Chain A
């Protein structure tokens, strides 16, 4: 109630008038009432009433927040967070090596970024995830739906059909082996048509369409509350050309990152972005780094870099708050994203490109 007038979300012209008339706290406004307010500042009674309603809403929100209820800022203890994280599901990728280094799969409520050269498998992984998010809970999935925002036009429906068919068959095999009732029931709804109808596809041609779509995403997700995965395939592509003003680009990207974090948290969904690689020309050599600059590196919580080693595809976990850096090999088969047979996991960072900016890891003895 002691909130200052300047912090209320009113129109700037109105705020200026209130300040000029000498109002300082929200309580003063509420005490004056709409008629008194309209006479003092010289606005119509309807405008004064609207302003007071906004003030009342804000103060009510404030009170709820200080009482510990849910609002724009969430307060909870680490124990509550731990319980939440432990019951949260992961979106598996069907490549057990990759799931292992990620700690179970793609985490919900986090932003994961996949960087890589063209042709290495980023879109394949995205399509695999859009199918895997729909796996029913009794098979170990999260039973959600997927939003696929495509900026490069690399989404191929036929490929998704192949991946989905392989996934359904995999689940059928599990159900036959285990013979449980809820498996059979779940399989009835887990069919090819259902999987395809729950992938919501948006094709954005330039960065304005992408921005507009992300502004509209919270409303879409409230209507489709079962969505657990948002994929943006090609966040770099629309921002890499036609941008003379790089500071505008940084600002827009930061705004986008913040909105995606809000979406991931509020709707308990995983956000997966794919990024391109660009050359950084150093002193004598040039290295491949993820595109969109240094500041974009802070946007994603988890960063995966896909690269080639002769003819083997490798995935490196480059940035993660809870898992160790490691590199694994993976395969793209006609069924989708899979392990290399047999699954080989190397938990050391040696032998792959050592990141020169990070302190080298020393293996600690386990006592």
Chain B
């Protein structure tokens, strides 16, 4: 929305040309200027500039919806609101399962089963809706090279032996899980940015990133001064794109995180607050 050109904001042709002489071509450039600067640049009076501001704002502003409309939309399709994890107590606590349309974070010490959980949820997502799945493809971004395809087939065959009764069905399932191995923060961010087109073309219904913490901790040493700002920049950018994708396509996004010690008075081990699912990007 920010990069929308002023031409499409229904400003007149000469106004756009005049503004482009001052290098103001997008709505973002226009809205970042103060009123006095805008008067100078457009050569218009105060009231005219206010009207122009309203026009440009209308081109950028989001649409209004009432909470009632949102609820109606959700209740039209209740089954697609959650992805059931098939663990009944977990589903009960989560009020149905992993929610579609928002980010979910899974944190634990090493060896507790985060990657296993992710592999299982990938299988669940490929199942048809009648069996509680989402009947779609999965994008799995793996930063620790912990994904094992054999384990995937093992889980599928043992968990749903009635459904995966032939090798063909198993291969079909594996075809719809797209694995990307990314080893640096930069490549993870680039991959996240490119996901929008992949989601549409491959009919993706679940995104898993396993794990965010490993790339971040590898590259950003928080003891160095400048790194904190860069790290939080990377995390919030990734978070906002993922949130946008989750909401736009109404799909669940699962992120895994690691544990670290917080050096406070208590001996508590606290979750590494590196996760972008929280809106806090803090150091340990």
Contact = CB atoms under 8 A, between A and B. Distances in A.
B92 interface: no
Contact of B68 (A50, A197, A220, A242): A197
A208 B66 contact: no
A198 B58 contact: no
Interface string A1-39: 000000001111110000000000000000000000000
A298 interface: no
B102 A153 contact: yes
Interface residues of A, number: 61
B45 A251 contact: no
Interface string B20-50: 0000000110011010000110011111100
Nearest to B44: A11
Interface in A225-274: 234, 236-238, 240-242, 248, 251-252, 255
B64 interface: yes
B247 interface: yes
Interface in B68-86: 68-71, 74
B204 to A, nearest CB: 19
A175 interface: no
A288 B61 CA distance: 33
B61 A209 contact: yes
A219 B51 CA distance: 12
Contacts of A354: none
B280 A242 contact: no
Given A197-B66, A202-B62, A241 B232 contact: yes
B1 A206 contact: yes
Contact of B283 (A148, A193, A208, A286): A286
A206 B279 contact: no
Contact of B64 (A153, A200, A237, A242): A200
Contacts of B70: 157, 201
B243 to A, nearest CB: 5
Nearest to A147: B64
A242 to B, nearest CB: 7
B57 interface: yes
Interface stretch (A62-70, A88-96, A210-218): A210-218
Interface of A: 9-14, 50-51, 54, 117-119, 130, 148, 152-153, 157-158, 160-161, 193, 195-209, 211-213, 215-216, 219-220, 234, 236-238, 240-242, 248, 251-252, 255, 276-279, 281, 286, 288
26 contacts: A10-B46, A12-B39, A148-B67, A153-B247, A158-B71, A158-B74, A160-B67, A197-B69, A201-B70, A205-B62, A208-B27, A208-B31, A208-B60, A211-B31, A213-B61, A213-B62, A219-B54, A234-B279, A240-B236, A241-B233, A241-B240, A248-B32, A252-B32, A276-B280, A277-B280, A279-B283
Interface of B: 1-2, 27-28, 31-32, 34, 39-40, 43-48, 53-54, 56-71, 74, 95, 102, 225, 228, 232-233, 236-237, 240, 243-244, 246-247, 278-280, 282-283
